Amino acid sequence: MTGTDTKTKHGDASDGSSNSLGARLSRFDGPDKIRGAARYALENHPANLAHAVIVQSTIAAGTVRAIDVAAAQVAPGVLLVLTPDNALHLDSASNWLGAPPPDAPYLPLARTVTFNGQHVAAVVAETLEQAIEAASLIRITYDATDAIPDFDDPRAGEGQPMDPMKIDWGDAETAFAAAPVRIEETYRTPREYNVPLEPHGLVAQWDGDALTIWEPSQWIDGMARTYAEWFAIPFDKVRIVSPYVGGGFGSKALACAHGAIAIMAAKMVGRPVKLAVTRPQSFTAFGGRPATRQTIALGATREGKLLSIVHRGDNETSVDGFAVEPLGAVTALMYATANLSSRQNIVPVNTVLPGPLRAPGENPSAFGIESAIDELAYAVGADPLAIRLLNYAEEDPHARKPWSTRQLREAFAVGAERFGWSRRTPAPRSMREGNQLIGWGVAAGTYPVRRTAGEALVRILADGTVEVASSSIDMGTGTYTILAQTAADALGVAPDRVRVKLGDSSLPRAPVAGGSQLANLMTGAVHKAALAARDELIGLAINHPSSPFRDVQANTLVIADGRIAAPRGNGPAVPIAELMRKIGREQIEVLRDTLPEASRSDEDRYKNFTTVATMRSPTDGDYSLHSWCAHFVEVRVDADFGTVRVSRVVSGIDSGRVYNPKLAESQWQGGIIMGIGQALLEEGIVDRRHARVVNNNLADYLIATNADIPDIEVISVGIPDPHASALGGKAVGELGIVGVAPAIANAVYHATGRRIRELPITLDKLM
């Protein structure tokens, strides 16, 4: 609509003055969640539903010799026993980069076993109990071969160099050798698991060649692509429904083998099938963070100014798959140094293919570099905070580009002030209360701003309310709430007049809710669509023959509090519903995307929403885009027993502009809490005789409980970053965990004089 100015009183969400974005609103999906009325995927029970249960391998390497299904097949209620022998043919699918698949079938049930806990068979029965019973009757015999249980086994070797991870500037080896102060240590993290409280699983229903799947998903369009390719059906025949996701942390972004098994079973029995992965099975139905080890050599002046960083890292991967946990991610970013060298290998072992877990790469990378810089501080007699400021990177030392915004200095300052850092006595074991050794530690964290184009539909309805629709998801991340806030501001209505629909393939497409990108890309898309809807409404108000504004002679109008008016308040203020009635419109519907002009073909769109190939790196452009944080931690270590308790956390956080501080603070805190668990508790324990993760349940794989967590103060120091995103926000969800574990390890050193370089920090390591 030409001739319309789009300024409104409340509408310009980019100026930070709006009354909705930035407000501490309670989450809009909250009322359903507190009443138990939010329906999660596995709570959909179509008529005639059958239940599937998976049987996993009990060896880690070898072949399945025979599967005796005789007893299972005749067990009460059994509809189907599924094995590699009767499984349907599936095509292989392209990967998440969109790389073409191998010309070989996809086998979700294994004949050749490569890890302990691999899916081998499944039972479908009338009831869950019948399926469980029949599954217990299946007898599998194997021809086992030797397995490599972990990357410390000498047979694992050095692994495969990942050339794309190679980072070099200056002459790091020579500069290290010549440095007056040198430290060199190895840091290790164990296998860690996502363990969202909602188990993985799905309900699959065929209707001819159309497939409906109720499944918790961080990426509806990406998973639909995989399912379509496995089953050789058109993409638009797959509908995934996922309005609520009971936690994902990276583990619900990609289709898994159990999905293929359930969908196959539904096809074979001609009924909808529900398959819930059991909690123990979830430890091998998909991978968590791989075990990592990294050696960091720091060369520095006697004052602690870095001269060189030499970094060598490895992570475990599966025997037939690539998983890279980029251990140099923070190493090459956090500090200014004239010389750096980083290498990474991946080491195949008999494990499930590892997957992404909150801040893959940045998290263990920060444990290494933020522990090492602390060691350097003690080596040169510097304060751990001062040495970080001494080596502050004024620009991205790797990309050699300016930061878009980097409020890390402010994060250190506000964190130190609130924590009381100046009262710290530097010597280890110098702060004590009775039998408790007190330690104060600091560490920084960072997470990149990733960017993919989004799409959103905005609809102004006859009653003056607004609908926003997208196949993006909310896993507790606040999407429902902040998209309503965004649309409300752009349209000049109250946020409670906006209904947001998410999590359904039938809605406009969205890229992965991963890499902490979704909030920024979706607020950008909704803002754009809502402004276009407002323009259309204002255009109609000015030009429509039945509009009350027809004779006002205005070339623009404003919308505020759900009413349209002339900008200077002369003339009527007409509620949107009244205007819609007068101009005879049932709705105004606008679909907009933020794809580049040159990439708008159907193929481009499909690629953008179903792969990560179009995701822009944080240094694509003139600036280097990252979020930053500084964690200050107090620990109390029992002098006799070595038990470590985190007693206080204060964190300064730069995520740019914050769309809803109440919800962002929850995510930052949640990341910090997961980091406390990672530092002190979490460890997948491998029985090396059987290459099996033995603590595959929530009583033995320890995550933080309420009693493990103290008060945590998070303070936003971010400023709107127009280079990072349309509305000025940066990454939130994955940032908070980065740097927590080293802050705790550093505090433990300060408390005890013991430097623990291997997570988790358990009492046996302090004895």
Partner 1 sequence: MTQPITLTLDINGRTRTVALEPRVTLLDALRDHLALNGTKKGCDQGQCGACTVHVDGARVLACLTLAAQVEGRQITTIEGLAGADGGVHPVQTAFLERDAFQCGYCTPGQIMSAVACIREGHAGSDAEIREYMSGNLCRCGAYPHIVAAVRDVAGAAS
Point out the residues that are catalytic.
Answer: 734
Q: Which residues inside 562-581 make contact with partner 1, applying CB under 8 A?
A: none
Is residue 684 within 8 Å of 191, Cβ to Cβ?
yes
Return the residue of 12, 19, 23, 38 that touches partner 1, per CB under 8 A. Answer: 38
Residue with smaller CB distance to partner 1, 87 or 195: 195
The CB-of-36 to partner 1 minimum distance in angstroms stands at 2
Where residue 753 falls (left for φ over 0; alpha for ψ -120 to 50; beta otherwise) is left
Return the residue of 26, 112, 141, 435 that touches partner 1, per CB under 8 A. Answer: 26
Measured distance CA(579)–CA(547) in Å, rounded: 7
The answer to the question of residue 39 lying near partner 1 (CB under 8 A) is yes
The answer to the question of residue 699 lying near partner 1 (CB under 8 A) is yes
The answer to the question of residue 475 lying near partner 1 (CB under 8 A) is yes
What's the DSSP call for residue 332? T
Please choose, out of 106-114, 566-574, 691-699, 722-730, the segment that lies near partner 1 by the rule CB under 8 A.
691-699
Task: Please state the length of the chain.
Answer: 767
Query: CA–CA distance from 248 to each of 196, 262, 288, 482 (Å)?
Result: 6, 20, 11, 19
Q: Which residues inside 279-298 make contact with partner 1, applying CB under 8 A?
A: 279
Which tokens go with 690?
Answer: 């059987």
Return the residue of 130, 284, 391, 470 that touches partner 1, per CB under 8 A. Answer: 130
Return the residue of 2, 3, 37, 568 that touches partner 1, per CB under 8 A. Answer: 37
SS3 call for 373? helix
Return the residue of 77, 159, 428, 572 that touches partner 1, per CB under 8 A. Answer: 77
Return the residue of 33, 65, 139, 688 that touches partner 1, per CB under 8 A. Answer: 33
Q: Which residues inside 649-688 make contact with partner 1, applying CB under 8 A?
A: 662-663, 665-667, 669-674
Measured distance CA(530)–CA(466) in Å, rounded: 9
Measured distance CA(707)–CA(715) in Å, rounded: 23
Return the residue of 355, 439, 476, 562 that touches partner 1, per CB under 8 A. Answer: 476
What's the DSSP call for residue 218? S
Measured distance CA(365)–CA(347) in Å, rounded: 17
SS3 call for 250? coil
The answer to the question of residue 45 lying near partner 1 (CB under 8 A) is yes
Residue with smaller CB distance to partner 1, 273 or 625: 273
The CB-of-26 to partner 1 minimum distance in angstroms stands at 5
The answer to the question of residue 141 lying near partner 1 (CB under 8 A) is no
Measured distance CA(483)–CA(498) in Å, rounded: 9
Return the residue of 3, 35, 100, 570 that touches partner 1, per CB under 8 A. Answer: 35
Please choose, out of 273-281, 330-338, 423-431, 621-629, the segment that lies near partner 1 by the rule CB under 8 A.
273-281
Return the residue of 133, 192, 374, 455 that touches partner 1, per CB under 8 A. Answer: 133
Return the residue of 2, 422, 553, 706 that touches partner 1, per CB under 8 A. Answer: 706
The answer to the question of residue 136 lying near partner 1 (CB under 8 A) is no
The answer to the question of residue 598 lying near partner 1 (CB under 8 A) is no
The CB-of-229 to partner 1 minimum distance in angstroms stands at 29
Please choose, out of 383-391, 578-586, 632-640, 698-706, the segment that lies near partner 1 by the rule CB under 8 A.
698-706
The CB-of-201 to partner 1 minimum distance in angstroms stands at 10
Which tokens go with 133?
Answer: 């019973």
Residue with smaller CB distance to partner 1, 79 or 373: 79
CB atoms within 10 A of CB 97: 10
The answer to the question of residue 250 lying near partner 1 (CB under 8 A) is no
Bridge pairing between strands 119-125 and 50-56 = antiparallel
Which tokens go with 372?
Answer: 């090492």
Reported as type and span, the H/E element at residue 134 is: helix 128-136
The answer to the question of residue 697 lying near partner 1 (CB under 8 A) is yes
Q: Which residues inside 190-249 make contact with partner 1, applying CB under 8 A?
A: 195-199, 244-247, 249
Residue with smaller CB distance to partner 1, 34 or 104: 34
Dihedral, CA of residue 411, residue 417, residue 422 and residue 425, to nearest 10: -80
Return the residue of 16, 76, 102, 180 that touches partner 1, per CB under 8 A. Answer: 76
Please choose, out of 182-190, 293-301, 469-477, 581-589, the segment that lies near partner 1 by the rule CB under 8 A.
469-477
Measured distance CA(591)–CA(594) in Å, rounded: 11
Q: What is the DSSP string of 558-605?
A: EEETTEEE-TTS-S-EEEHHHHHHHTT-SEEEEEEE---TT--SHHHH
Residue with smaller CB distance to partner 1, 109 or 712: 712
Which tokens go with 607?
Answer: 């690629």
Measured distance CA(416)–CA(641) in Å, rounded: 30
Measured distance CA(446)–CA(733) in Å, rounded: 11
Residue with smaller CB distance to partner 1, 359 or 475: 475
Measured distance CA(242)–CA(480) in Å, rounded: 13
Return the residue of 423, 433, 705, 764 that touches partner 1, per CB under 8 A. Answer: 705
The CB-of-50 to partner 1 minimum distance in angstroms stands at 12
Residue with smaller CB distance to partner 1, 136 or 555: 136
Is residue 752 within 8 Å of 429, Cβ to Cβ?
yes
Reported as type and span, the H/E element at residue 266 is: helix 257-269
Measured distance CA(726)–CA(114) in Å, rounded: 45
Measured distance CA(602)–CA(94) in Å, rounded: 18
Q: Which residues inside 170-189 make contact with partner 1, applying CB under 8 A?
A: none
Please choose, out of 42-50, 63-71, 261-269, 724-732, the segment that lies near partner 1 by the rule CB under 8 A.
42-50
Please give the sequence-ordered ranges of beta strands (E in DSSP) within 167-326, or none if there are none: 167-169, 181-189, 201-207, 210-214, 238-241, 273-276, 292-300, 306-318
Q: In DSSP terms, which residues pair with 592 in a beta bridge? A: 456
What's the DSSP call for residue 147? -
Which tokens go with 18?
Answer: 């709006």
Is residue 348 within 8 Å of 317, Cβ to Cβ?
yes
The answer to the question of residue 29 lying near partner 1 (CB under 8 A) is yes
Please choose, out of 274-282, 283-291, 427-435, 716-724, the segment that lies near partner 1 by the rule CB under 8 A.
274-282
Q: How many residues bind partner 1 (CB under 8 A)?
A: 63
The answer to the question of residue 394 lying near partner 1 (CB under 8 A) is no
Measured distance CA(589)–CA(136) in Å, rounded: 54
Dihedral, CA of residue 490, residue 493, residue 495 and residue 501, to nearest 10: -70
Measured distance CA(737)–CA(675) in Å, rounded: 5
Residue with smaller CB distance to partner 1, 240 or 276: 276
Interacting residues with partner 1 (CB under 8 A): 26-27, 29-40, 42-43, 45, 76-77, 127-130, 133, 195-199, 244-247, 249, 276, 278-279, 475-477, 662-663, 665-667, 669-674, 697-699, 703-709, 711-712
